[in-house]
Amino acid sequence: MNRWLDRGITLLLLALLGWAGWSILHWLLVGADWSVVTTNLPLYAVGSFPADQRWRPLLWMAALITLTLLTLTGPKRGWVRRWLPLVWIAMAPLGLWLLAGGLGLLPVGTRSWGGLTLTLLLTGGSGALALPLGILLALGRRSELPVLRWSSAAYIELMRAVPLIAVLFFGQLLIPLFLPPGLEINRVLRAVVAFALFAAAYIAEDVRGGLQAIPPTQREAAAVLGLSPRQVLQLVVLPQALRVALPSLTNQAVGLLQNTSLMAILGLVELLGISRSLLANPAFIGRYLEVYLWLAAVYWLACSAMALLARHLEVQLDPARSAS
């Protein structure tokens, strides 16, 4: 009886899937009007970057894609493997130089940055700021000094209780109020700072979990060997803790990429935001289904790539643990 029910459900599901798949395929190829995507590809990619300078962000993104493919396909030569992490780290200043200009390139202000380029930059910038801050907070929370412990714990618990959109919104509004009059920082920077402050709290908890997983015997052994407390932390404890926390940390990174879409609510023209601007163009009113599907595909690709890279990193750093 059970087996017939099972088969029946399977057949019904298959039928539904088939019908849904066919209608979707038909609409995708025949019914949809993809001009809103094809005409505006440069905007999705680089926002309102000056047209003659578009090669700069496009070059950066091409480099990122090539690097991703190279990393994932696993280079065989030893020297390539050794250089790869350095090249990855170098992408950050390279990206900043290509986008911001200066030193031989025409300077381009941050308001002209947009689209996928801005999304990637927000993710990278906030992540780079949040990681050290999170590690500091985690160490602070485990400190023996009550003042440090309480203030770190208070910050972490507060930040984890508040929704991200509130932090972003009030970051845009309130950061200028905390700065001396005359000092303005642009909206992109404010967004990066707000994201970093938020993500640092979550990273702190992940790192703290990693720190807790290190048996105290490690610290005792290192101390016996004559290492100073700072050296113990730097050389023995932190690397192991970060390795343990790596899966959660990479989860945070993917989450950060997805959360950059929230800036669209606040008017920043990253990938989702620029689509909203596009939809105001009289030529494209009402084409939101095509746009949203296109965006979903782009985000899915980007996040999946990040997740694959993360998995690759985990395997590289800790083959024994990741094999389980």
Partner 1 sequence: MRQRRLLVQVGVAALLIGLLALLVNNLAVNLIRTGLGLGFGWLGRPAGFALAETALPYAPSDSYLWALTIGWLNSLKVIAAGLVLATGLGVAAGAARSSNNRLLRSLAAGYVALIRQVPLLLQLLFWYFVAFLGLPSVPIGGLIRLSNQGIQLLGLNLSVEFCAVLVGLTVFTGASIAEIVRGGINAVPRGQWEAFRSLGLGEGLGLRRIVLPQALPAILPALTSQYLNLAKNSTLAIAVGYADLYAVSDTTITQTGRAIEGFLLLLLSFLLLNLLISGGMAAFNRAVLGRLNRSR
Partner 2 sequence: MFRSSSRVLIVALAGLSSFLASCASLDSAAGSRLDLVKARGELLCGVSGKIPGFSFLSPDGRYTGLDVDICRAMAAAFVSDAEKVQYRPLTAPERFTALRSGEIDLLSRNTTHTLSRDAVGGNGLRFGPVVFHDGQGLMVNAASGVRSLADLSGKAICVGSGTTTEQNLNDAFASKGLPYTPIKYQDLNQVVGGYLQGRCAAMTSDRSQLAAARSGFSDPQAHQILYDRISKEPLAPAVVGGDQPMGDAMTWVINALIEAEERGITQANVDAVVKQAAADPSQTALRRFLGVDPGLGRKLGLADDFVVQVIRSTGNYGEIYNRHLGPDSAVAIPRGANRLAGEGGLMISPPFT
- Residue ranges in contact with partner 1 by CB under 8 A: 2, 6, 9-10, 13-14, 144-148, 151, 158, 160-166, 169-170, 173-174, 176-181, 254, 258-259, 261-262, 264-265, 272, 288-289, 292, 295-296, 299-300, 303-304, 307
What does 59 bind: partner 2, partner 1, none (CB cut-off 5 to 8 Å by kind)?
A: none
Closest-CA residue to 122 (of 186, 67, 176, 65): 186
Tokens for 86, please give them. Answer: 């350095």
Identify the residue whose tokens are 């970057």.
Answer: 49
Stretch that binds partner 2, among 14-22, 49-57, 156-164, 314-322 (CB under 8 A): 49-57
Of 92, 133, 266, 293, the one binding partner 2 by CB under 8 A: 266
Dihedral class, residue 286 (left if φ above 0, else alpha if ψ from -120 to 50, else beta): left
- Whichever of 21 and 163 has its CB closer to partner 2, that residue is 163
What does 234 bind: partner 2, partner 1, none (CB cut-off 5 to 8 Å by kind)?
A: none
Q: What gap in Å lies between CA 113 and CA 99, rounded to an integer?
A: 8
Q: Does 183 bind partner 2 (CB under 8 A)?
A: yes
Q: What gap in Å lies between CA 94 and CA 91, rounded to an integer?
A: 5
Q: How far apart are the first and last CA of the chain?
A: 38
Could you give the dihedral angle defined by the CA atoms of residues 93, 98, 101 and 105, in that order, rounded to the nearest 10 degrees?
120
What does 267 bind: partner 1, partner 2, none (CB cut-off 5 to 8 Å by kind)?
A: partner 2
Of 10, 23, 39, 212, the one binding partner 2 by CB under 8 A: 39
Q: Which residues, other chains included, contact 48 with Cβ-Cβ below 8 Å and sequence gap of 6+? A: 112, 114, 269
Contact assessment for residue 270 and residue 118, using Cβ atoms and an 8 Å cutoff: yes
Beta bridge partners of 102: 105
93-132 residues in contact with partner 2 (CB under 8 A) are 109, 111-112
Tokens for 255, please give them. Answer: 């989450």
Q: What gap in Å lies between CA 31 and CA 259, rounded to an integer?
A: 31
- Whichever of 109 and 132 has its CB closer to partner 2, that residue is 109
Number of residues that bind partner 2 (CB under 8 A): 45
- Whichever of 249 and 270 has its CB closer to partner 2, that residue is 270
Q: Does 225 bind partner 2 (CB under 8 A)?
A: no
- Whichever of 98 and 210 has its CB closer to partner 1, that residue is 210
What does 40 bind: partner 1, partner 2, none (CB cut-off 5 to 8 Å by kind)?
A: partner 2
Q: Does 78 bind partner 2 (CB under 8 A)?
A: no
Q: What gap in Å lies between CA 57 and CA 204, rounded to an integer?
A: 32
Burial class (CB in 10 A: 0-12, 13-18, 19+), 297: exposed
Tokens for 25, please give them. Answer: 């395929």
Q: Shortest approach of partner 2 to residue 173 CB, angstroms?
A: 6
Residues that bind partner 2 (CB under 8 A): 39-40, 42-43, 46-51, 109, 111-112, 172-173, 176-177, 180-184, 186-187, 228-230, 233, 265-267, 269, 274, 276-286, 288
